């Protein structure tokens, strides 16, 4: 079942119509009657080499210059985002003495909402794309973001080869297989889940949130001002000028225990602007929906988990406002940078039942300088660092490296059938995109 790793690799090319009828230049060394799916590690191959440790000596991250740079070097990523990889570092340690085998990986079926892919020499391939009843835009956004992180990296051909499965659902199901899977969020008990950036880093059209870079521009315009058509500068909204209220808009259906208690804790309070949205009622949506950037006009922003994570969290943390969240069960890629106490606090944590919400809101209103410091910390930590497009791309590439290090196999792009003929196992992403 194993094939020896060939001495050099190649990529399938060609138009859609001829993709599967091309004569391949090199035939897999698997014997007839086998269907090779992977190579065992440990055989000769040009491996990824990290740049020298001093390759970016003296370099410092500057958001104006580097925030939208999708191709920072590995060394620059480590310098800029020291807290970004805490989750995958921890998971890598858990698998240090128990590598992921192909049998373990392959035990997970590609069910609805899942995508199976290969990255080989920095190029993305699609092996399997399951039905997407409600999450098709998420899958495309995630694949586009991953593809962007690869193509922006000059040394992508030296990245390790991996085969992976990710889910576009709010969380990964664990009942069918313990095999490794990439997901947008995870809990402590989710020992098979590797965290990946969520779809919103590309766009989230279902809730009228556009491209992430455009959302960040609109948010920054509210807080920092903007340049008018005639060239004059329109000043932004000062923190102390913001509405001294806690704002939240959303559905109760995705997490009734947590979200209903938020409503109960806020009812009748002058500091509360908390409303439920019925997404199936167009009139209700039109009346209650608040554009994501307009949340930044409020001094306090409530963050609640949904079925798992809530995608709005990263948008709120882009605002120069105080994010107030209940104790979180679900983690996302940027959560390693959250600080709830002390002079570096960049958000406020309350009890999961919101029982101490009123007390903490009153304290912040009575101590506006503390509230403003927390809001400024959030901007420095998240909008200007850990939630930049540069950070997202850095995370994708580090996920590839560390996931590869945890696997004892590498994928192959071609398998050999019983008739001795080779078959491509995957479609190049550029081609797949045109076919779908």
How far is 250 from 262, CA to CA, in rounded Å? Answer: 11
Number of structural domains, the chain? 2
Residue 39 maps to a domain: no
Residues 105-120, mean pLDDT to the nearest whole number = 96
**45: confidence class by pLDDT, cuts 50, 70, 90:** very low
Same domain for 217 and 268, yes or no, is yes
Same domain for 292 and 255, yes or no, is yes
Same domain for 268 and 121, yes or no, is no
**22: confidence class by pLDDT, cuts 50, 70, 90:** very low
How far is 67 from 69, CA to CA, in rounded Å? Answer: 6
Residue 16 maps to a domain: no
% of residues, the chain, pLDDT over 90: 74
Nearest to 210 by CA among 277, 141, 281: 141
pLDDT at position 228 is 81
Residue 34 maps to a domain: no
Q: What is the pLDDT of residues 226-240, one digit of tens each?
A: 888 888 888 999 999
Residue 322 maps to a domain: yes
Same domain for 346 and 233, yes or no, is yes
Same domain for 81 and 229, yes or no, is no
Residues 9-18, mean pLDDT to the nearest whole number = 38
The domain in which residue 367 lies consists of 212-382
Q: What is the pLDDT of residues 248-306, one digit of tens each?
A: 999 999 999 999 999 999 999 999 999 999 888 888 888 888 999 999 999 999 999 99
Same domain for 188 and 82, yes or no, is yes
Same domain for 201 and 256, yes or no, is no
* pLDDT above 90 for 312: yes
Provide the token pair at 114: 């899942």
Residue 23 maps to a domain: no
Please give the mean pLDDT across all residues of the chain: 88
Same domain for 395 and 329, yes or no, is no
pTM above 0.85, yes or no: yes
Same domain for 149 and 80, yes or no, is yes
Residue 46 maps to a domain: no
Residue 428 maps to a domain: yes
> CA of 34: how far to CAs of 3, 31, 39, 416, in Å?
9, 6, 13, 6
């Amino acid at each position: 079942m194993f094939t020896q790793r060939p001495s050099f690799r190649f990529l399938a090319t060609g138009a859609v119509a001829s993709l599967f009828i091309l004569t391949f230049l090199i035939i897999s060394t698997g014997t007839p009657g086998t269907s090779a799916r992977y190579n065992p590690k440990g055989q000769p191959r040009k491996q990824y080499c990290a740049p020298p440790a001093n390759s970016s000596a003296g370099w410092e991250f500057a958001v104006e210059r580097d925030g939208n740079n999708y191709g920072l070097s590995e060394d620059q990523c480590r310098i800029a985002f020291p807290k970004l990889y805490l989750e995958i570092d921890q998971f890598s340690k858990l698998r240090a003495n128990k590598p992921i085998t192909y049998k373990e990986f392959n035990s997970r079926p590609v069910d609805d909402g899942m995508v199976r892919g290969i990255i080989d020499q920095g190029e993305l391939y699609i092996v399997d794309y399951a039905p997407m009843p409600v999450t098709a835009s998420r899958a495309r956004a995630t694949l586009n973001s991953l593809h962007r992180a690869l193509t922006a990296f000059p040394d992508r051909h030296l990245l390790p080869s991996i085969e992976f499965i990710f889910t576009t659902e709010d969380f990964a199901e664990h009942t069918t297989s313990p095999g490794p899977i990439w997901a947008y969020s995870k809990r402590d008990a989710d020992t098979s889940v590797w965290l990946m950036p969520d779809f919103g880093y590309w766009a989230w059209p279902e809730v009228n949130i556009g491209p992430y870079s455009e959302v960040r521009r609109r948010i920054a315009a509210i807080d920092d001002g903007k340049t008018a058509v005639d060239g004059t500068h329109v000043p932004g909204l000062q923190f102390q000028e913001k509405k001294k209220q806690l704002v939240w808009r959303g559905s109760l259906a995705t997490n009734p225990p947590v979200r209903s208690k938020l409503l109960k804790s806020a009812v009748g309070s002058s500091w509360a602007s908390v409303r439920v949205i019925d997404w199936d009622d167009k009139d209700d949506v039109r009346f209650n929906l608040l554009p994501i950037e307009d949340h930044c006009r409020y001094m306090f922003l409530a963050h609640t988990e949904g079925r798992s994570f809530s995608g709005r969290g990263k948008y709120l943390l882009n605002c120069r406002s105080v994010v107030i969240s209940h104790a979180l069960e679900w983690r996302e890629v940027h959560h390693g940078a959250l600080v709830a106490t002390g002079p570096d606090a960049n958000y406020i944590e309350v009890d999961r039942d919101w029982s101490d919400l009123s007390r903490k809101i009153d304290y912040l209103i009575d101590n506006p300088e503390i509230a403003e410091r927390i809001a400024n910390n959030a901007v420095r930590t998240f909008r200007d660092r850990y939630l930049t497009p540069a950070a997202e791309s850095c995370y994708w590439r580090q996920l590839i490296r560390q996931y590869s290090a945890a696997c004892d196999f590498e994928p192959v792009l071609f398998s050999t059938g019983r008739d001795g003929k080779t078959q491509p196992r995957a479609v190049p992403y550029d081609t797949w995109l045109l076919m779908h």
